[in-house]
Amino acid sequence: MMSFMKGRVLVVDDDTALAEMLGIVLRGEGFEPSFVADGDKALAAFRESKPDLVLLDLMLPGRDGIEVCRLIRAESGVPIVMLTAKSDTVDVVVGLESGADDYIVKPFKPKELVARIRARLRRSEEPAPEQLTIGDLVIDVAGHSVKRDGQSIALTPLEFDLLVALARKPWQVFTREVLLEQVWGYRHAADTRLVNVHVQRLRSKVEKDPERPEIVVTVRGVGYKAGPS
């Protein structure tokens, strides 16, 4: 549990009351929060504080959350959790497509938020050395690297987790619900769009032809599985 104590969380939110409340809760749970209220200053604050996780409100003055998310994702694979008041399809999907790993809909309970943050930070625990293959990819789990023909492919931690989960059991078809539990750490059913969007993002990085996936194969009506090695 000590690893959580050092969890630095950047809170990007313009609502000072909520930011302060988030600070209280996060500190209570042993995180180190830092705050920024303006979308334009978010990237600078991110570079300065080097957080382990970003809590990002979608509606911000200046640059909006989607834009900030895209900018952060462009230079880092740090877990991003969106705070959104809108659970409507479009907002959530746009947020996820712009690079957020997960989202949480306001109003949320503090425990829910903390559980979500912990799930995203969980992977900072030391993994056992392990080498996996999926399709023509070689995955070094401990070294957090994916290589095709010696060329390494940059993945965010979440995408890496997703790929590892599929590669560990290539014989198994994963339903979206199972993936949500294994990769995102949801114990109860959640939004399966999370899986869809991230599978798309993952495919765009690892597939030769994302239109005809060979690494992450869709099993219609059920879910996904690893492609044949």
The residue from 49, 124, 182, 192 that contacts other proteins (CB under 8 A) is 192
Answer for the pair 158, 101: CB distance below 8 angstroms, yes or no. Answer: yes
Regarding 142 and contact with other proteins (CB under 8 A), the answer is no
The residue from 4, 38, 41, 59 that contacts other proteins (CB under 8 A) is 59
Minimum distance between the CB of residue 109 and other proteins, rounded to whole angstroms? 6
Apex 13 CA angle, 124 and 83, nearest 5: 60
Regarding 17 and contact with other proteins (CB under 8 A), the answer is yes
The stretch near other proteins (CB under 8 A) out of 104-112, 124-132, 141-149, 163-171 is: 104-112
19 vs 155 by CB, closer to other proteins: 19
65 vs 79 by CB, closer to other proteins: 65
Binding site for other proteins (CB under 8 A): 15, 17-18, 21-22, 24-25, 28, 59, 83, 85-86, 88-89, 106-111, 175, 177, 188-189, 191-193, 220-221
